[in-house]
Amino acid sequence: MRKIEIEGSKIYVGESYQNITKYLPDAQIIMISDMNVYTHYKHFIDKYDNIIIPTGEKSKNWSTVALIVEELLKLKADRNTFLVGMGGGVVTDITGFVASVFMRGVRFGFIASSLLAQVDASLGGKNGINFHTFKNMIGVFNTPEFVICDAELLKTLPKREVQSGFGEIIKHALIKDHELFVYLKENYKLLLELENRTLEFVIWKAIGIKALVVSNDWLEKGERKQLNFGHTLGHAIENNSDYTHGEAVAVGMYWASKWSVEKGILSETDFAEVQHILKLYRLPINFSLDKYILTSYLLKDKKKHGSAIDFVFLKEIGAAQVMSVPMEELVRAIERL
């Protein structure tokens, strides 16, 4: 087992979810999960008071927050209650958000059951919900006391969800770690087969990258913005199509890399490497979506400031650059897709 700390939050890679009692306080424990996770792990979740929410990104909204709060009151939760979110990014996001606002805040922790949650969504203290079609428009910064990342949990995931998680791991490598990028290329077969030792190493490396970036820039004023590589277009695609988060981010990374070449920031050779690794992990690089819908969404992106937006370009494999780009230039670039 490996342990990493991010702003007071302890991340345990390779720890069994069944050992959670080691990390729980002597208090009322209420577990929050979704129907998919509950189906697989009912025997474990039913050991605790629990609240089961609908599955999927569409449930990350005010209605689900209200449902959880109503159930918390029925369970007689108070300020000493400890919440555990067991699930993917939707569950961890909404659990962290509810824990931050219920009775002005209660303690909480996560069991991250998807690859995406283990390497990204459950880490860094961002908790939130969507508002209409706008992703994570309402949220807070607040860290869980612990995150358990058990690779065994990933074996019940659909293959598509596994590939989605690798989209974020590839992003971490592209912006910060050339050696990890090479490792991902050389070991892609073992990783897609979820070989435990190889997978745990990659999860640990990806978490380490995020931990370093977040520690340097907790409130996303500078370096942390690099973690948005591929997300500007990616979020627009995700919220207007049936692409998963990782699939949409993969398209966003491909396009951001292509634009980086057009602007003379990235070499054609490195751009070919980006295309190659996305194909190895069976992630898409194209999409079919009305460009008017895309640009309308982008004009309301929360990274926008005034008439410009902070956009993440790729300089080389392992290094990114954030530049303020006029929205008009971004829209013209989208139109050339």
Which DSSP helix (H) or strand (E) runs through 321?
Answer: strand 319-326
Given a contact cutoff of 8 angstroms between Cβ atoms, the answer to whether 97 and 64 are in contact is: no
As a whole number of angstroms, the distance between CA 198 and CA 108 comes to 29
Q: How many helices (H) and strands (E) does the chain have?
A: 13, 12
Catalytic residue positions, numbered: 104, 126, 168, 210, 220, 224, 228, 231, 235, 245
In angstroms, how far is CA 134 from the centroid of its own chain? 16
Determine whether 188 is exposed, middle or buried from the number of CB atoms within 10 Å of its CB (0-12, 13-18, 19+): middle
For tokens 């996303």, what's the residue? 220
As a 3-state breakdown, the chain gives helix, strand, coil percent values, each rounded to 5, of 55, 20, 25
Closest by CA position to 91, among listed 123, 121, 66, 70 = 121
As a whole number of angstroms, the distance between CA 25 and CA 6 comes to 20
H helices present in 104-195, as ranges: 115-116, 159-176, 178-186, 188-192
Determine whether 170 is exposed, middle or buried from the number of CB atoms within 10 Å of its CB (0-12, 13-18, 19+): buried
Q: Residue 48 in 3-state DSSP?
A: coil
Which DSSP helix (H) or strand (E) runs through 34?
Answer: strand 29-34
As a whole number of angstroms, the distance between CA 238 and CA 245 comes to 6
What is the radius of gyration, based on Cα positions, of the chain?
Answer: 19
